[in-house]
Structure 1
Amino acid sequence: MFEEYSRFRLIVRCLLWFVPFVLAGLVFGQLAWSLLAGSWILILWHYRQLSRLANWLWNERSITPPNGSGSWEPIFNGIYRLQGKNRRRRTHLARMLSRFREGAEALPDATLVLGREGEIQWSNKLAEHLLGVHWPKDAGNRIHNLVRHPRFVRYWNKREFVEPLELVSPVNEDRMLEIRVIPYGDKQRLLIARDITRIKQLEEMRRDFVANVSHELKTPLTVLQGYVEVMQMTAEPDTMLAKQYGAMEQQSQRMKNLVDRLLVLSRIESATDIDFEQQVDMPAVMERIEKEGLELARESHQLEFRIDTNLTVYGDEMQLHSACANLVQNALRYTDSGKVTVSWALEAGRPVFRVADEGEGIPAEHIARLTERFYRVDSARSRDTGGSGLGLAIVKHALSHHNSVLQVESTVGKGSCFSFELPPTLHVVRNKLA
């Protein structure tokens, strides 16, 4: 309705403006010249109003627009109204931006907003202490030009940010950082660097404690086992004393196995630097695992190995042997009868190891926790089979050092399948062996 009313008033004003010129033209007999004069005067007046508007917008600092008249009055007032809205909007956005910056500064992690090529658009104060990035001094610089650690540069150039990167702080070598890059918006990225020094120290203390305690327990356990064996030799067969000595020998052996597993786990956890130039003869490893499995297999088990004898990989032989052997031994221990199939083959360019059994299966709620230390689906069954609850934890750490993860598929009553695949970069191409 405002539009129609404005247009009507504009037409009325235009007609009223030309009425005196029409009358004057009729009186003097010069209607055309009179209308032309009226048009030029109207154009000059509008040009003057337009000049006043341009001067106010570009030169004057006053917020209040000049006084308009006629059809220019609603234009000046409308512009003033729009400017008021824009000022309120800018004030609101400034408050929002200030709150965002205050919230970002309160974060316990270094936070940076990066452009599509890694150029720094904003960072909080903690980024200066952890990464050496100064805002706004470093605005526009690319993050990989400031954080020049080779691992970070490879991580950034690879553009695969699913897994975080652990890195020594470029500012303080005593600090360990966990760096995550989160894509968002129009190809922007949020980089978050968290100080995990304390967590790493606690993990190292735990590993050292477990390793030291396990190592110290080996000597007294060996002595106890020796005395138990001597006492068993002196005891009369089928007596209560002989049964007690047998139980002691069984439990001491179980404890020795647990200590050995703890030492293996501690050694694998500590061996983070893998020599990926070292070739592992996996067919030979599988042959040893098959011999170990046949000794553990019961008469009701059918153990089948399907091995690609030409498939060799790069990595750590001890860790890969531990991972594969534990998976085979678990399948045999927790399967009363049936077939256990072990395969080692190349699938879609990736070396894949797989162990499938026909056991009882694992309920879905337990699968996510299988690789936790000492976690058992059935504690009583684990004790009967001699399980320590550390086998899959050893598998998890050994595979993580080879950039792989354990995959578990299981159906209750039908069996389970444990598998892992190694990256294609670890596959030794046959012509390289020549």
Structure 2
Amino acid sequence: MYSSLSAKAIFARLFIALAISYLLGLLFGVAFMVVAFTAIALLVWHYHHLVKLMTWLWVSKSLSPPTANGLWGRIYDGLYRIIRKHRLKQKRLNDKVRQFRDGAEALPDAALVLSSDLTIQWGNKKAQRILGVRWPGDVGQRIDNLIRFPEFARYIEEGNFELPCHIPSPINTELMIELRLIAYGADQVLFLARDISKIHRLEEMRRDFVANVSHELKTPLTVMRGYVEMVQMTESSLDPYWQKAFSTMETQVSRMDRLVEQLLILSRVEVSTEEEEKQLVDMPKLISALIEDAKWLNQEKSHILTSEIDNALAIEGIDNELKSACSNLISNAIAYTPAGGNIHVSWGKEGNKAKFSVKDDGPGIRPEHVNRITERFFRVDKSRSRNTGGSGLGLAIVKHVLNHHHAELAINSQWGKGSEFIIYFEPKCIRFIDN
């Protein structure tokens, strides 16, 4: 049972000892000498235990403190109690560290714990197999000194870790890895890397398949269209039944041709990531040309098409990709807005970003569909899409184009009240045209 003495009790004991020695000294007429002897004896006793305490702290390897009675016994007991509490805490901490390391070693991914300045503090065994980072040999090294890829350097420099970074493995270029940085604790970063080689190969196979099939379909569709148009030129000699049949064939061939064209565009934008391809794009001129084309093709529905364009604002990017993205948003607005509706196209600055917007008063999009609308072949209303000739690829193309241009797509829509599709370009992409 541990107990402690208060300062009041300690001084009370000292006073009682000196008082008793004083009274004994009075009996023999040597009070001063007895008190002095008692004080010296107490001082020697305390220094003796101080020496024992220092020897135990600095020399002895024993975990148990010296034994003693009285005040020093209480001190030793208190120190032993503190040591036991510390050892229990240390044991619990070691168990937690061991559990963390066992869990990290069991992960299928490479895991590194980095400091706030991205120096390595700990890593699991898979980090050596996937990244070539050794623990504890590489402790204190900055991660970007060991993983030297331009894509990773840009990823670190931009500081936007919401999306992963894809690079080849530093020790095996045949492996493709996905890197993620996650805030961990107060001043640490958890660095995760996983092997996505199989997924990457499957994605490449899918892209190649789509591109090859699209190219193979292009020629027979062109031949079929040519024969259909040739027959339609002689439609006066055909029965009404066959005139309707060939007209339906021409419509479906045109629809298939548009689908193939969009598949080819999607295949191109999925693989086009080269920064050197980017150049100054005259967005006011590009958007104005798209609006003029839309007005010409929109005579049947007679939409009220208005625009507001900042003629000095340009973008550094890929011309044909930006044209495809903007064209898809305008085409969607025309396709899904009822006849006589309003479509407004704007281009300008909002804050420190460039903003391209297409706003309509069409039927809008239900909230549950907004998050899926950029998926390939996703259609909000399949029957309506067949009537409008939609393929479900337009917004997928827009999404890939924006990924290449450090831009994001925002969708504001209310069911039954229209939609607004907005593209925001980051400040680093913005350029100005000298008029």
Question: Between Structure 1 and Structure 2, how many residues are aligned?
Answer: 432
Q: Is the 8 A contact 2:312 2:432 kept in 1?
A: no
SS in 1 for 2:377: coil
My pick for the range that moved more, 190-199 or 370-379, is 190-199
Q: CA deviation at 1:350?
A: 2.4
Residue in 2 that maps onto 1:365 = 368
After superposition, the Cα gap between the structure-2 partners of 1:346 and 1:70, relative to the gap in structure 1 and judged at 3 Å, is closer
Q: CA deviation at 1:189?
A: 1.1
My pick for the range that moved more, 63-72 or 389-398, is 63-72
1:389-421 per-residue CA deviation (whole Å, 9 max, x = no partner) reads: 111111111111111121110112221101102
For 2:278 and 2:332, how far apart are their aligned partners in 1?
30
Q: Is the 8 A contact 1:275 1:315 kept in 2?
A: no
Residue in 2 that maps onto 1:261 = 262
Q: CA deviation at 1:152?
A: 2.5
Q: CA deviation at 1:237?
A: 5.7
Residue in 1 that maps onto 2:86 = 86
Q: CA deviation at 1:238?
A: 6.4
Amino acid aligned to 1:138: D
My pick for the range that moved more, 207-216 or 122-131, is 122-131
- Work out which of the residue numbers 394, 399, 402 in structure 1 matches 2:397: 394
- Work out which of the residue numbers 308, 329, 332 in structure 2 matches 1:330: 332
Residue in 2 that maps onto 1:311 = 313
For 2:44 and 2:5, how far apart are their aligned partners in 1?
25
RMSD: 2.3
For 1:199 and 1:413, how far apart are their aligned partners in 2?
40
My pick for the range that moved more, 102-111 or 92-101, is 92-101
TM-score, normalised on structure 1?
0.93
SS in 1 for 2:221: helix
Kindly indicate whether residue 40 of structure 2 is the aligned counterpart of residue 37 of structure 1: no
Residue in 2 that maps onto 1:421 = 424
Q: Is the 8 A contact 1:104 1:111 kept in 2?
A: yes
Gaps of 5+ in 2: none
Structure 1 ranges of 4+ moved more than 6 A: 1-9
Q: CA deviation at 1:160?
A: 3.5
Q: CA deviation at 1:82?
A: 2.4
Residue in 2 that maps onto 1:156 = 156
Q: Is the 8 A contact 1:296 1:332 kept in 2?
A: no
For 1:177 and 1:147, how far apart are their aligned partners in 2?
12
Q: Percent identity?
A: 46
After superposition, the Cα gap between the structure-2 partners of 1:67 and 1:346, relative to the gap in structure 1 and judged at 3 Å, is closer
TM-score, normalised on structure 2?
0.93
Amino acid aligned to 1:192: L
Residue in 2 that maps onto 1:385 = 388
Residue in 2 that maps onto 1:300 = 302
For 1:224 and 1:15, how far apart are their aligned partners in 2?
118
Residue in 2 that maps onto 1:374 = 377
For 1:9 and 1:323, how far apart are their aligned partners in 2?
85
1:86-113 per-residue CA deviation (whole Å, 9 max, x = no partner) reads: 2222222222211111110111111111
SS in 1 for 2:276: coil
Q: CA deviation at 1:375?
A: 0.8
Residue in 1 that maps onto 2:407 = 404
For 1:128 and 1:403, how far apart are their aligned partners in 2?
32
For 2:2 and 2:85, how far apart are their aligned partners in 1?
20
My pick for the range that moved more, 418-427 or 328-337, is 418-427
Q: Is the 8 A contact 1:276 1:426 kept in 2?
A: no
My pick for the range that moved more, 269-278 or 200-209, is 269-278
Residue in 1 that maps onto 2:133 = 133
Amino acid aligned to 2:150: P
For 2:84 and 2:354, how far apart are their aligned partners in 1?
67
Q: CA deviation at 1:226?
A: 2.3
Residue in 2 that maps onto 1:279 = 280
Q: Is the 8 A contact 1:169 1:175 kept in 2?
A: yes
